[in-house]
Amino acid sequence: MKLPTEIFGNVVVVHTPEELGEDHAEQLVVFLTTQERSNVILDIDGTEAIDSAGLASLLESQEALREVDGDLRVATTNKVNRKILEITRLDQHLEVYDSVIDAVKSYV
Judge whether residue 108 has pLDDT over 90: no
Please write the tens of the pLDDT for every residue from 41-89: 999 999 999 999 999 999 999 999 999 999 999 999 999 999 999 999 9
CA distance 75 to 98: 6
Identify the pLDDT of residue 39.
96
- Total-model pTM: 0.91
Please provide the average confidence, as pLDDT, over all residues in the chain: 94
Burial of 5 (C-beta count, 10 Å sphere; 0-12/13-18/19+): middle
